[in-house]
Structure formats: structure tokens, C-alpha cells
């Protein structure tokens, strides 16, 4: 047990006192969580904290078993102040044995389980991960129960999941009086209720009532359903498959109890969500690894994951299991991080490192097979996306980032960890050499998988150049970084065709985990080159010219934007220009950083995204004395950066490198500054005139992509479970602040500090909170209120009301020109007729935040006018388009507001077809054929639709 110092004791006393006081006052859980986070940060205590988790669980169990105490715990989990897996382990020990005396607590425990047991990839290998795993091991005694050697974190995850499933199973058997029918007559877990004769102790009700008895029975049904869900989920089912493969004796004991439940459980028969037959099917040997909730619902895609050939000797290590199945969790993890609706707050490379270590340990596989399984999983991801028919937006840049940046970074971690774990110098050298040899073997064997190595079209030129580089090296030609800059495909010999393995090898060489001896591998170069051009004609100025001191001419900028940097020194040079250059050079450098070097500069990508994030937070100039934000002076520069990283692929690349919280922290000041000034000043950026509204809209829409902004607050969601978490601005900032604290630890990690250059130092800055941005906070609170309940509160005569009037007249000015008195009906309380033919946009030279505050009332008024017949649906749609063109940031409110209004269903139907809005019937046949063609490519055939009378309805 760790020694608690006087300072630590004072800190924990303060945490308990803070919690008790908040509980007494009924403080909002979010405010409590923010105060707790601030207290821990001030004390230098890293999060998520196992100590705080133990304090909170001990606080609840059982002296403060009140609803608000559970809400505090829920918020601490959502904001990652405490580690979810460890909290579940603590609650398992406390709640399951006392579930009959505390049935509501048991229900809340299972609700938490439903959230976090199915989010393991996002929980693995985060801050304090090893310490958390050791705490789970100590709490559940996994090493003793399962005979685990050491405290390997991957094995602990497997033992944790299996323990949870088995505890729920035996608890359900015990609740139905079936436990005595098992072979052991009792459970190996501490699940037997010790309070059978006691009254209900939940703080949620009085004595044990019939209602509480019903809740206990409902809990048993829910526990069984969670068991089924754990076998359905793609990640947990894969973990359970590993248990079946590697712990056959324990698995047999578990399945005996499971068969007893299936045969005799009335709770299982009463479940509406799972049947005995379905549970048998889910837990059978043939289906234990399959997930019915896999995001890729197509059988074709799932089998593409499974089919990639043998991984050699792995089959002998796994008792007859298919080798491809061993590494299926990697495929599933990589598919998860491609989900654009989920933005990660930790680096995918760090999480992937932990997952690979866990699979290698559980499978007892040689590292050469482990590395090969990792490479093949990443290659399959690229191939699935290249051949994908799902969705209009290609994600090839994101997939290639996973293959050529994230995967090599994970391998660097694995090699360095092996080196650091050895005690003696000789042992360290030998162990490092052996794992390095396994990596080389995996890459050599990767050449046998030619079907996976064909590069996507955008990466083909770079793959060909990588192959040409190897061929010229073997031909004895000294190739500098500038040699290929002017080379076209016509200059490359026909037998010099590259594939994805050439790019992988170049990525490994760039990260110093391979050297150019890889060019000598059999089959790597298809023969030596006799016709290699000794020089390249009409060479364009490129990176080599920049490094020799050439200025940033328009011709050079154009070349650097479309050609990725080949070394860290090159991207550092551009970063220095972006920081210290002239205003025009700064704009050019920003465009270069956000060009090909960002999307396809895989060898230096983690540095590029960090540089861009830093540049979005430029420093206050020396002797600055202006009254407005210093950011206004960087308008042209910031706008180039914002546009350059606004695509879906770019946001996902930030997410893969774990920099979304830092990006959010950089965007919020920009939004606050440019949204608070009127668009009176114009800037010229690359021949285009922009205003503060445009810069604000670019920053604001990018910020919204970082969380599910259109989700209603949790307490207003009728279909939500009682506990849970969504990404919110507050959460992103808390994670950002936590990352700043954690970056201090990087200074002590010699294995990682050596990768940092003089420019790419650890994260730095001061903690910031949402309250630091009053305009953004006001919009966010109003936004939450608007999507949670019908709109109210517009007071006639106020500035907001006047802006509403101006916006309505701007949107529907054509109607006003006809002489109709439209405004009074639309705006409800107004009696003015508006400016009529006057250019009302002149009255809207207002800060963007003021306009956004009025937009919900404008939408409400427009819907009212449509409902009263004063606006046609077509006029409404045209007006909304004009509003979005005027201030693109308003699209966020338009989307979320109308989504909320549709779900409330309080507006009448409005016909949109006919003379007012042309009927789509004429185009339906062509649209149907396009849809059928797309579906047919995925193996789904649908019958033809009967074209009849079609109408669209607007709610």
C-alpha cells in the first residue's frame, strides 16, 4: 500500500469535504466536477485518478448512497477524472454482493457497465494506464484467480472482462436459486448476497416494497441481457474468444454455469431482448467472436476483414484457431477510429500500442507474427476504404495516416518499451535486437501479400517514387532530397512500380527503425535500373531549394503545397517562416503546412499537426496596446489555417494524433474574438475578400465538428440511459488541461524525449475553461435550451428583437416588396412593417455572436409564418439559404433547431409539391437506379419501387 503523505491526506480530505458540501447544497454535478478537476490540477495530481475513484466509491458505499452522489460519480467518469474500468472493478466488489439490499445501486452499476464495458478501445492506454491496470488487478485479484504471470496490462483487460461476465452470470443464478445446482454448489466470486434478511438500504426509497422486489427481478433480467450484449459486442466478444482459446478449463466451468442458466432461468425467458436460443447461439464456439453490432453491417466487408491468408506459425500457437481471427480486434479497433462521429481525445498510436501488447501476450504469439498481423490489419483498412461504396466522402487520407503514420508510431513505442524494460545493458541490446529482427521478418513476409499492397490512386505516385529511390540506391546513384522534385511519371523506368510496402519501409526508415539495408531484401527492387536519368529536366523549385535559402516565390509555394515534405527539417523550416516571416510569407507558410505535408506527409505528420495547432494560437505581439483581441491582426494567416484543416479527413487526422482537445482550445479564442467584432474590416487572402464573419464561420464550424453539438442535454433525452457521456466543450477543455499536466511527464521519459526536436516540445500553455469565453458560453447555453424545449423569451423592443426583425426582412425581402405586411405575422409581437425595399443587410453589420443569438427566434418566426400560410415552403427554404449564405455559422443552429422541432412534432404538415415546389416524380426513376446500383455493389438487391404520387412533407 502506498504511503500517504500529509499533503496527500489534506488533498483527499479536501475532496471529500468538497463532495459533501456539494451534496448538501445540491450543486450541479458539472460544476462539482469542474471544481474537483481544478483542485486536482492545482495540487499537481494527474487524472484519471485511482485514488479519487476509491474515495468516491467509498463515499457512496454505503454512507452516502444518494441520487446526487451517483450523479457526481457519473460526471467524474464522463470527464475522465476517475478511470471507468477501475470504478467498475470497485463497484463490482461493493455492489454485487449487496445487490438485494441496494437494488437501485445494482441497477446504476449495470447502467455504468453498459456504457463503459463497450468503450474499451477509448479507455485503453490513456493517461496513467499502467497504474490503473495494476489497481484493477489488486482489486479483483486477477493474477491469483487466473494464474497470470506478472501484471501485463493486456492480460488484465482480458481477465477484467471475463470476471465481469462471470460475476453477472453467477449473480443471476444466485438470484433465481440456481447456484446450488452448479458443480461447485457456490460461486468462485464474492457474489452471494450477505443481506437477504435486511430491508432495502437504497437512499432512493424507504423500506423494501413490492416495487423494490420488482426492481430486483428486473435487475436479474438486465444482468442476463448485458451478458448477451457482451457476447454481441465486437471488442468484448473478441476478448472472450481469447479466453476460450487460452483458458479452456476456466471456460468450460463458465459455460457449464451458462448452460444451467439457459435451461432453468425464468428471467431469461421473460426477457424481451434476448431468448435462451439467442444466448446459446451467441456463446457457441462458432459465434463467440462475431459481433451483431459491428458498424460494418455488410457481410462482404466483414469477410474482407477475415480473409487475408495465413500468418504462418501463429496457427500452431492458438490451438487450431484461424490465424486471421487472432488479430481481428486490431481490425475492429482500426475501423472504430475511422468513425467520423466519434472524435478521440487520446492518440490512436498509444491505444494501438496497448492493444497489440495485449493480443501478443494473450495469444502467446511470436513478435514477428504480431507485427505481421498489425501490418495486415492496417492494409486491410486501406483496401476496404478504397473499394467502399458506403458514403459519399472518401477517407483515404485518414486510412493512409493509420497505415503509414499511426502504425509506425505504435511500432516505435513497442520497440522502445522492450528496450526500456530490460535491466542490464547487454540484455537490453539483445532483446531490442531480437524484436527488431521480428519487425524486419514481418516486413519481408509482407511482400507475399501482393493483393493488399496495390496503392490507392492518390498514393501511387509517392509509392512509385519510393520504389525508384530504392532502385537508384542499388544502382549506385547518390539521391538527394531534391532529386525527385521535378521527376514525372514519364521519367520513372517502367519496371520501377511501387506499392504500399515501399511506402511502409520508407516510413520505418524515416523513424529510424529500419535502414537502407531494406533495399537489399529479395524482391524489394525488381531488378537494377540501367536507364535512370542522371538529371531531371525543367526541375521545379521545391523543398531542396527552400532548404538552400530560396525565397517563397508563388511558383515555389505552389510546388510545396502539392508536394509533401520528406524530412522533419523541411517542415521545421516552414514552421519557422510561419512564426517569424513577413505577413505574406506567413500566409504562404500556413498554406504549405496545410497542404500535402499535412495530408500525406506521413513520416512527419505528428509534428505537422502539432505545428498547425500551435500556429492557431499566435502570441500577443510585443508592445501590443490595442483594445481588441490581438488575434484580429492575424486574420489572413488564421483564415488560411482554418480552411486548410476543415475537411473531414483533416479533423480525423487530428483525432488520430490525439490533438482534438488542443485544437478545440485553440479555436475557442478565435471564435470569441472574431465573433465579437462587426464585419467592418475586409482582408484580402489569395485574391479573395473576407470579413470577420467569414473567419468566424470557418473557425466556428470547425469547432462544432469536434463534438456532437446537435445532441440534446442528457437530462432532456427520454431515450437515454440514466448515466452516460457525450463529448462536450467542457469535456474537451478538461481533457486539454489534463494533457498539459501529463505532458510534464514526457520530460522525464527519455525514450520519447529523444524524438522531440527543438521545435516540437511537449504541449504547453495555461489551463482554460469555457467560462473564459462568455460569448461562446452564452451561445452554447442557449443552444442547449433550444434543442431541449420549445423556444420562449423574446422580449419586444430589445436589441435581440430588432435583430430578429432585420433578419426576417433580409430573408423574405422579396415578399415585402409585394406590399404584403409579412413581418407582423412572422415575428409575432411586432407591429412594424420593416424596411421594405431597403437593403436590410446594411442593418446587419453586427457581430456574429449577436446574430447567432437571434437566429433561433428567426427560425421560430419563419415556421409560424409558414404554418399561417404567409410563407410557402419554397420561400422558407430560399430564406434559410440566404441566411446561411449571409452567415454560414448559422447553419449549426438551423440544423439542430429544426431537428429538435421535428422530434417534438408540434408543427403542421406543409405540402411542398405541385406548382409551388416542382414534383420530384420525374427524377425518381433515375434516382432509384442510382440507389440500386450502389446497393448492388454491396451485395444487396432490392425490388423496383412503384412510381406513384409522391409528396414531400415539411414538419
Instruction: Work out the pLDDT band at 426, boundaries 50, 70, 90.
Output: low
- 3-state percent helix, strand, coil for the chain, nearest multiple of 5: 65, 0, 35
Strands 910-911 and 953-954: antiparallel
CA atoms within 13 A on the CB side of 601: 28
pLDDT of amino acid 813: 80
Of 38-52, 424-438, 554-568, the range with the lowest mean pLDDT is 424-438
Instruction: Work out the pLDDT band at 904, boundaries 50, 70, 90.
Output: confident
Which tens digits make up the pLDDT trace of 639-652? 999 999 988 788 88
**C-alpha–C-alpha distance, residues 336 and 356, integer Å:** 15
Name which of 912, 919, 910, 915 is nearest 949 in CA terms. 919
**C-alpha–C-alpha distance, residues 914 and 896, integer Å:** 28
Instruction: Work out the pLDDT band at 955, boundaries 50, 70, 90.
Output: very low
pLDDT surpassing 70 at residue 583: yes
653 and 610 Cβ atoms separated by less than 8 Å: no
Instruction: Work out the pLDDT band at 340, boundaries 50, 70, 90.
Output: low
Of 552-561, 603-612, 662-671, 918-927, the range with the lowest mean pLDDT is 918-927
What is the mean pLDDT of the segment spanning 562-574? 92
**C-alpha–C-alpha distance, residues 819 and 811, integer Å:** 15
Of 240-244, 797-801, 844-848, the range with the lowest mean pLDDT is 240-244
DSSP, collapsed to helix, strand or coil, labels residue 911 as strand
**C-alpha–C-alpha distance, residues 463 and 901, integer Å:** 51
Instruction: Work out the pLDDT band at 856, boundaries 50, 70, 90.
Output: very high
pLDDT surpassing 50 at residue 825: no
pLDDT surpassing 50 at residue 300: no
Name which of 739, 738, 589, 563 is nearest 657 in CA terms. 739
All cell numbers assigned to 448: 507475399
Of 165-169, 265-269, 732-736, 799-803, the range with the lowest mean pLDDT is 732-736
pLDDT surpassing 70 at residue 857: yes
pLDDT surpassing 50 at residue 893: yes
What is the mean pLDDT of the segment spanning 157-162? 90
Mean pLDDT across the chain, nearest whole number?
Answer: 79
Question: Highest-confidence range of 27-31, 277-281, 598-602, by mean pLDDT?
Answer: 598-602
pLDDT of amino acid 664: 92
Question: Highest-confidence range of 571-580, 673-682, 916-925, by mean pLDDT?
Answer: 571-580
pLDDT surpassing 60 at residue 350: yes
Q: What percent of the chain has pLDDT over 90?
A: 34
Of 43-57, 408-422, 794-808, 809-823, the range with the lowest mean pLDDT is 809-823
CA atoms within 13 A on the CB side of 9: 4
Number of DSSP helices (H) and strands (E) in the chain, helices first: 47, 4
All cell numbers assigned to 679: 464585419
What is the mean pLDDT of the segment spanning 321-343? 74
Kindly write down the DSSP assignment for every residue of 837-895, as one continuous string.
TS-GGGGG---HHHHHHHHHHHHHHHHHHHHTTSS-HHHHHHHHHHHHHH-TTHHHHHH
Phi and psi at 344, nearest 5°, equal: -75, 150
What is the mean pLDDT of the segment spanning 860-885? 88
728 and 707 Cβ atoms separated by less than 8 Å: yes
pLDDT of amino acid 828: 38
768 vs 199: which has the higher pLDDT: 768
**C-alpha–C-alpha distance, residues 865 and 823, integer Å:** 9
**C-alpha–C-alpha distance, residues 427 and 425, integer Å:** 5
What is the mean pLDDT of the segment spanning 132-160? 83
What is the mean pLDDT of the segment spanning 396-413? 94
pLDDT of amino acid 431: 65
148 and 226 Cβ atoms separated by less than 8 Å: no
What is the mean pLDDT of the segment spanning 583-602? 94
CA torsion 191-237-114-217 (nearest 10°) is: -50
843 vs 642: which has the higher pLDDT: 642
DSSP, collapsed to helix, strand or coil, labels residue 690 as strand
What is the mean pLDDT of the segment spanning 32-40? 86
**C-alpha–C-alpha distance, residues 165 and 112, integer Å:** 14
747 and 762 Cβ atoms separated by less than 8 Å: yes
pLDDT of amino acid 143: 85
What is the mean pLDDT of the segment spanning 259-266? 91
pLDDT of amino acid 823: 46
pLDDT of amino acid 9: 77
pLDDT of amino acid 489: 42
pLDDT of amino acid 59: 93
Q: What ranges in 421-567 are assigned the alpha helix state H? A: 425-446, 450-453, 460-474, 500-510, 543-547, 554-562
Residue with cell 466478444: 237
Burial level of 869, CB count in 10 A (0-12/13-18/19+)? exposed
Instruction: Work out the pLDDT band at 831, boundaries 50, 70, 90.
Output: very low
CB atoms within 10 A of CB 252: 10
CA torsion 257-263-268-274 (nearest 10°) is: 90
Strands 688-690 and 910-911: unpaired
pLDDT of amino acid 556: 93
pLDDT surpassing 50 at residue 920: yes
Q: What percent of the chain has pLDDT over 70?
A: 75
What is the mean pLDDT of the segment spanning 572-600? 94
pLDDT surpassing 50 at residue 619: yes
Which tens digits make up the pLDDT trace of 701-731? 999 888 766 554 444 444 433 333 456 888 8
pLDDT surpassing 70 at residue 290: no
**C-alpha–C-alpha distance, residues 137 and 139, integer Å:** 6
**How far is the CA of 548 from the CAs of 35, 358, 481, 543, 759, in angstroms?**
53, 47, 12, 9, 20
pLDDT of amino acid 194: 52
pLDDT of amino acid 665: 93
Burial level of 601, CB count in 10 A (0-12/13-18/19+)? buried
**C-alpha–C-alpha distance, residues 223 and 113, integer Å:** 10
Question: Highest-confidence range of 124-128, 532-536, 592-596, by mean pLDDT?
Answer: 592-596
Q: Please tell me the pTM assigned to this model.
A: 0.70
Cβ neighbours of residue 715 under 8 Å, at least 6 residues apart? none
Name which of 817, 721, 737, 810 is nearest 772 in CA terms. 737
**Omega prior to 48 cis, within 30 of 0:** yes
674 and 639 Cβ atoms separated by less than 8 Å: no
Residue with cell 441566411: 883
**C-alpha–C-alpha distance, residues 71 and 547, integer Å:** 57
Instruction: Work out the pLDDT band at 148, boundaries 50, 70, 90.
Output: confident
What is the mean pLDDT of the segment spanning 884-900? 90
Q: What ranges in 450-601 are assigned the alpha helix state H? A: 450-453, 460-474, 500-510, 543-547, 554-562, 568-580, 583-593, 596-600
Amino acid at each position: 500500500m502506498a504511503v500517504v503523505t500529509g499533503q496527500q491526506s489534506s488533498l483527499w480530505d479536501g475532496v471529500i469535504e468538497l463532495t459533501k458540501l456539494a451534496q448538501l447544497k445540491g450543486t450541479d454535478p458539472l460544476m462539482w466536477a469542474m471544481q474537483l478537476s481544478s483542485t486536482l490540477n492545482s495540487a499537481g495530481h494527474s487524472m484519471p485518478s485511482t485514488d479519487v475513484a476509491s474515495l468516491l466509491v467509498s463515499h457512496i458505499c454505503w454512507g452516502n448512497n444518494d441520487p446526487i452522489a451517483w450523479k457526481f460519480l457519473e460526471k467524474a467518469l464522463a470527464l475522465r477524472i476517475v478511470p471507468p474500468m477501475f470504478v467498475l472493478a470497485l463497484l463490482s466488489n461493493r455492489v454485487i454482493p449487496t445487490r438485494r439490499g441496494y437494488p437501485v445501486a445494482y441497477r446504476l452499476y449495470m447502467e455504468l457497465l453498459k456504457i463503459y464495458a463497450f468503450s474499451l478501445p477509448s479507455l485503453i492506454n490513456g493517461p496513467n494506464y499502467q497504474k490503473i491496470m495494476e489497481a484493477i488487478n489488486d482489486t479483483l485479484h486477477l493474477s491469483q484467480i487466473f494464474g497470470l504471470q506478472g501484471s501485463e496490462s493486456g492480460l488484465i483487460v482480458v481477465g477484467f472482462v471475463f470476471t465481469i461476465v462471470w460475476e453477472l452470470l453467477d449473480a443471476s443464478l444466485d438470484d433465481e436459486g440456481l447456484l446450488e445446482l452448479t458443480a461447485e454448489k457456490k460461486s468462485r466470486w464474492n457474489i452471494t448476497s450477505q443481506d437477504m434478511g435486511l430491508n432495502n438500504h437504497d437512499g432512493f426509497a424507504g423500506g423494501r416494497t413490492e416495487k423494490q422486489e420488482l426492481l430486483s427481478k428486473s435487475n436479474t433480467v438486465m444482468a442476463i441481457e448485458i451478458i448477451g450484449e457482451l457476447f454481441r459486442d465486437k471488442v468484448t466478444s473478441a476478448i472472450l474468444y481469447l479466453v476460450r482459446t487460452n483458458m479452456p478449463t476456466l471456460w468450460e466451468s463458465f459455460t457449464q454455469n451458462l448452460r444451467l442458466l439457459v435451461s432453468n432461468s425464468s428471467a431469461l425467458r421473460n426477457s424481451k431482448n434476448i431468448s435462451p436460443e439467442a444466448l446459446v447461439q451467441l456463446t457457441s464456439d462458432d459465434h463467440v467472436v462475431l459481433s451483431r453490432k459491428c458498424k460494418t453491417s455488410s457481410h462482404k466487408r466483414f469477410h474482407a476483414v477475415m480473409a487475408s491468408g495465413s500468418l504462418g506459425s501463429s496457427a500452431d500457437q492458438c490451438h487450431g484457431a484461424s490465424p486471421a481471427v487472432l488479430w481481428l480486434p486490431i481490425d475492429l479497433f482500426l475501423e472504430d477510429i475511422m468513425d467520423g462521429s466519434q472524435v478521440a481525445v487520446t492518440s490512436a498510436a498509444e491505444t494501438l500500442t496497448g492493444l497489440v501488447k495485449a493480443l501478443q501476450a494473450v495469444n502467446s504469439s511470436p513478435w514477428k507474427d504480431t507485427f505481421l498481423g498489425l501490418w495486415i490489419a492496417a492494409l486491410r483498412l486501406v483496401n476496404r476504404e478504397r473499394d467502399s461504396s458506403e458514403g459519399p466522402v472518401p477517407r483515404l487520407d485518414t486510412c493512409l495516416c493509420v497505415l503509414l503514420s499511426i502504425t509506425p508510431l505504435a511500432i516505435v513505442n513497442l520497440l522502445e518499451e522492450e528496450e526500456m524494460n530490460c535491466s542490464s545493458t547487454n540484455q537490453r541490446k539483445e532483446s531490442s535486437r531480437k524484436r527488431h529482427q521480428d519487425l524486419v521478418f514481418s516486413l519481408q513476409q509482407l511482400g507475399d501479400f501482393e493483393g493488399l499492397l496495390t496503392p490507392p490512386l492518390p498514393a501511387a505516385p509517392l509509392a512509385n517514387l519510393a520504389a525508384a529511390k530504392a532502385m537508384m540506391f542499388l544502382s549506385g546513384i547518390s539521391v538527394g532530397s531534391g532529386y525527385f522534385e521535378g521527376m514525372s511519371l514519364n521519367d520513372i523506368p517502367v519496371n520501377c512500380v511501387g506499392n504500399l510496402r515501399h511506402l511502409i519501409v520508407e516510413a520505418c526508415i524515416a523513424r529510424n527503425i529500419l535502414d537502407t539495408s531494406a533495399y537489399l531484401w529479395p524482391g524489394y527492387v525488381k531488378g537494377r535500373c540501367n536507364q535512370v536519368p542522371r538529371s531531371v529536366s525543367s526541375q521545379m523549385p521545391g523543398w531542396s531549394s527552400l532548404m538552400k535559402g530560396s525565397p517563397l516565390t508563388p511558383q515555389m509555394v505552389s510546388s510545396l503545397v502539392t508536394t509533401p515534405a520528406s524530412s522533419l527539417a523541411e517542415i521545421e523550416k516552414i514552421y519557422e517562416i510561419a512564426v517569424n516571416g513577413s505577413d505574406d510569407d506567413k500566409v504562404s507558410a500556413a498554406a504549405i503546412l496545410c497542404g500535402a505535408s499535412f495530408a500525406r506527409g506521413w513520416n512527419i505528420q505528428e509534428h505537422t499537426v502539432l505545428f498547425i495547432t500551435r500556429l492557431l494560437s499566435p502570441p500577443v505581439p510585443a508592445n501590443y496596446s490595442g483594445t481588441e483581441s490581438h488575434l484580429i491582426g492575424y486574420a489572413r494567416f488564421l483564415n488560411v489555417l482554418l480552411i486548410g484543416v476543415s475537411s473531414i479527413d483533416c479533423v480525423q487526422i487530428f483525432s488520430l494524433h490525439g490533438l482534438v482537445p488542443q485544437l478545440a482550445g485553440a479555436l475557442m479564442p478565435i471564435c470569441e474574438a472574431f465573433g465579437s467584432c462587426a464585419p467592418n474590416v475586409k482582408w484580402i487572402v489569395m485574391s479573395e475578400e473576407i470579413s470577420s464573419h467569414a473567419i468566424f464561420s470557418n473557425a466556428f464550424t470547425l469547432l462544432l465538428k469536434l463534438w456532437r453539438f446537435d445532441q440534446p442535454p442528457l437530462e432532456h433525452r427520454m431515450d437515454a440511459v440514466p448515466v452516460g457521456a457525450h463529448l462536450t466543450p467542457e469535456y474537451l477543455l478538461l481533457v486539454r488541461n489534463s494533457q498539459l499536466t501529463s505532458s510534464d511527464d514526457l520530460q522525464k521519459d527519455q525514450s520519447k524525449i529523444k524524438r522531440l526536436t527543438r521545435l516540437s516540445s511537449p504541449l504547453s500553455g495555461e489551463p482554460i475553461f469555457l467560462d473564459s469565453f462568455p460569448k461562446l458560453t452564452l451561445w452554447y447555453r442557449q443552444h442547449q435550451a433550444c434543442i431541449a424545449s420549445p423556444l420562449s423569451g423574446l422580449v419586444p423592443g430589445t436589441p435581440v428583437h430588432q435583430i430578429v426583425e432585420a433578419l426576417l426582412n433580409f430573408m423574405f425581402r422579396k415578399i415585402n416588396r409585394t406590399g404584403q405586411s409579412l413581418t407582423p405575422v412572422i415575428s409575432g409581437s411586432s407591429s412594424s412593417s420593416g424596411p421594405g425595399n431597403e437593403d436590410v443587410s446594411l442593418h446587419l453589420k453586427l457581430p456574429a455572436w449577436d446574430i447567432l443569438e437571434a437566429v433561433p427566434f428567426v427560425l421560430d418566426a419563419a415556421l409560424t409564418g409558414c404554418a399561417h400560410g404567409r410563407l410557402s415552403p419554397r420561400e422558407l427554404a430560399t430564406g434559410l439559404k440566404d441566411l446561411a449564405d449571409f452567415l454560414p455559422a448559422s447553419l449549426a443552429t438551423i440544423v439542430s433547431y429544426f431537428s429538435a422541432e421535428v422530434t417534438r412534432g408540434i408543427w403542421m404538415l406543409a405540402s411542398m409539391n405541385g406548382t409551388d415546389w416542382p414534383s420530384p416524380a420525374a427524377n425518381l426513376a433515375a434516382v432509384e437506379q442510382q440507389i440500386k446500383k450502389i446497393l448492388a455493389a454491396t451485395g444487396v438487391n432490392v425490388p423496383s419501387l412503384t412510381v406513384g404520387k409522391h409528396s414531400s412533407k415539411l414538419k
